[in-house]
Chains A and B, each alone.
Chain A
Amino acid sequence: MTGQKSKYTLLVVDDSEMNRAILAEILADYNIVEAKDGREAIETLKKRRDTISLVLLDYVMPVMNGFEVLKKMKRAGMTEDIPVIMISSENSPSYVQQAFELGVIDFISRPFDALLVQHRVANTLQLYTKQKKLARMVEDQIVQRERQSSAMVHILSNIVEFRNGESGMHVLNIQSLVKILLTRFLKKIRTHAFRSEDIDCICMASCLHDIGKIAIPSSILNKPGKLTPEEYEIMKTHSAIGADMLSRLPLMQDNHLLKVAADICRWHHERFDGKGYPDGLKGDEIPISAQVVSLADVYDALTSKRVYKDAIPHDKAVRMILDGECGAFNPKLLDCLKEVADDLPSLLEITAKSLVAERTPQADARTLLRRTGIQSQEHALNLLERERTRSDYLDAMTEEVEFEYTLDPPTVRMSSWAAEYTGWGESFTIEQDGKKMICGMTPDEFFKLSNKIKNTTPENPAIDHECRINVNGRSIWARIVARSLWSDDDPPRYKGVIGKMMNIDAMKSLIETLEYRATHDSLTGVLTRAAAEEKIKTRLKGTKTKKAFIMLDLDYFKQINDSYGHAFGDTILKRIADKLNASVHGERDIVARVGGDEFFIYLENYKDNLDAIAGRIFNAVTDESEEFRLSVSMGIAEYDALLFKDPEQLFLAADRALYTAKQTGRGKYLFYDSSMEHTFSNISRIADKNLGENE
């Protein structure tokens, strides 16, 4: 008996003792358990389900025949993880077909060959062990994918909130409201087409309802006053843009969550009476997901405090919605709102708390798997089955390359589509000579990957690796998810790797673009104030290097806008940003637009004297050779341990210097000195002005 095989226990089911004895003898390398009829077999399987690795099943038996055993096993879900080999002298095609339909993995007809039985058993065991490993891997990947998409959702919604200047509360409130209303709605309509995980999905997807706002100029988005009709038209495009963005996301083609999110984006400004935008859908033409989010959005807008309005109390907001003052909604949904109205504030609080608890992505994926009502392992196996039967066409759709690497011989294998996609062939050996590219990777990159694999253990076999890979002469960002395979020996031997390579190029660049858009002013391309402050925060801490702030404000901007139009005003702002960028040290210094016609520059570790730098910037912006000469005012503050307690005061100081320059005639630049300590800050003046306009 070899140590490896004896690990497996086989159940031999045959009513003839002679036949059982023959099989036991042939399979003497394994642990053999015998059953003399179908009922005994089922009893044994129930008792020892975890230890039995394979069943050899006869057909004609007293009490319960082979097919009945199979049916019972199938009903109990046993055929999913215990392979059954049928042994019989019956071999008519219809009989064999029925056996396969009932889930047997292989069929051996009498009289059997000892060697054949040994091989079939060994192969089946190996296949199932591998399949189980693969199943676990697929399962991990599902969890990973869910984690990824929920993480993605949060990243995206954070970007929008960040840019809208909203707190996370807005999204959380909408989510909670959606959950409350939908749960109520579900009870009311009693349909089977809708399940609790749909609620969770809509709830999660609702985070993204305003994602399209990322494409709206921040001057419109964050405009404190009322929007002009033109601006309102631009604002309205955010719903279609959002849906478009989501449907173009790579790797997410078949992602249900993002599909739901795209629906919500596009249609959360539709009205039940057909007077909404962008498509003027009417009644139930609007998906229920979008209807609910729309209602939740209105309620949240009413009850939240905005720069231009106070928060409306809960009961008044509900009354306004029910009276039809804030749009047209599905009467059934309004009923739901009416029913929960009294408890809404407390319900919101409870729901928000539970949602925050669920936000840990791991919980999301696990509960999702649990809620499907089937064992995750089984679920994974079903998916695996789908995966296995998936055609090359679908492979191509998802751009996923599945591969297998065996150590002996050191060979990589992949599907024909994958072979064509990568240009590496369906089967090839890996040769490391330290110079050549290996699998589209530089030797260094390949070394990093193989090192990760080398560091796996049978307990921790999975790796997740991102790198650039060259496929067919094209360099892409790839994510490789793989696991090492180990023998059953003691100690286990490393046997190879199975895994997947995904093209995450588009996803990477999309995220980069989104992040760029979120941190940069859409008009001038320089950093937004918030993004710049974030960047400066840590750099400001040190007191050793030279640091300075320059605040710059365009004089008479309002007059320029009034006399030449906004479009011209915009070109002027762009010109200033370009000049500023050109006159500072690109990597070291930071230029940002504070808002309106105001910019700031943060300088650090500069070689020249600050006076010279300030003069250069001032002259560049007010360039006399330009056809339209600009007048600007600048305030400058340089860090000086005697003058400032800490560098964070620089911003305020520069602002005071600017204010003083403005007060004393404009068109000049001033350095901060202690005499300006008590002037009004420009920042507070902006705040005051904004409040005044909105009142």
Chain B
Amino acid sequence: MNLKEFYEKTEGNYGSVTTRFGGEKLALKFTLKFPDDPSFSQLEKALGEGDEESAFRAAHTLKGVCQNLSFDSLYVCAYAVCEALRSGNMDEARRLFPRLNDKYVATIDAVNQLKATL
């Protein structure tokens, strides 16, 4: 799998990320680092503990990282959770979380496949 195929598979925007980063090099580097980003697990933990503020920050950060890497479909899911938390709606956030979770797991899988083919 190459980077372009990765973006196709995860429904990201390959054209946008390579344009913004001026080529594949940086996009690849940070895509591979994506699993190290702790914001998803922080969000999961905070939701479990009912820590609204930490949950919002984690969701916001995750959203920002997705935005930077043009992980568009993951971004959309993170966005929904983030906005729910911003308005203090914990229940709504919990309702929306599984969708984000599925998408996140799929993205990590794809990153691992990408890593394996390099």
Contact = CB atoms under 8 A, between A and B. Distances in A.
Interface of A: 15-19, 21-22, 25-26, 58, 60-62, 89, 110-115
Contact of A89 (B16, B37, B67, B69): B67
A90 to B, nearest CB: 9
Contacts of B63: 89
Interface string B8-31: 000000001001111000100110
A17 to B, nearest CB: 7
A114 B30 CA distance: 13
A111 B19 contact: no
A112 B26 contact: no
A114 B22 contact: yes
B29 A16 contact: no
Given A112-B20, A113-B20, A114-B26, A22 B61 contact: no
B48 interface: no
Contacts of A114: 20-22, 26
Nearest to A17: B37
Given A17-B37, A18-B30, A60 B60 contact: yes
B22 A110 contact: no
What's the interface size class on B, roughly?
20 to 34
A26 B26 contact: yes
A62 B64 contact: no
B68 A61 contact: no
Contacts of B68: 18-19, 22, 110-112
Contact of B57 (A15, A18, A111, A113): A15
Contact of B64 (A21, A26, A89, A113): A89
Interface in B28-75: 29-30, 33-34, 36-39, 54, 56-57, 60-61, 63-65, 67-70
A25 B29 contact: yes
Nearest to B23: A114
B64 A19 contact: yes
A16 B65 contact: yes
Contact of B67 (A17, A60, A111): A111
A18 B33 contact: yes
Interface of B: 16, 19-22, 26, 29-30, 33-34, 36-39, 54, 56-57, 60-61, 63-65, 67-70
Nearest to B79: A89
Given A16-B37, A22-B26, 8 more contacts: A16-B64, A17-B37, A17-B38, A19-B61, A60-B60, A61-B57, A111-B68, A114-B21
B89 to A, nearest CB: 17
Give 10 nearest A-B pairs by CB, closest first: A113-B20, A111-B67, A16-B61, A18-B37, A60-B60, A110-B67, A18-B65, A114-B21, A111-B68, A114-B22
A38 to B, nearest CB: 12
A22 B65 CA distance: 9
B48 to A, nearest CB: 18
A15 B57 CA distance: 9
A111 B67 CA distance: 5
Interface centre among B16, B61, B70 (most CB of A within 10 A): B61
Contacts of A17: 36-38
A110 B57 contact: no
Nearest to A115: B22
B31 to A, nearest CB: 11
Contacts of A60: 56-57, 60-61, 64
A113 B63 CA distance: 17
B28 to A, nearest CB: 12
B26 A15 contact: no
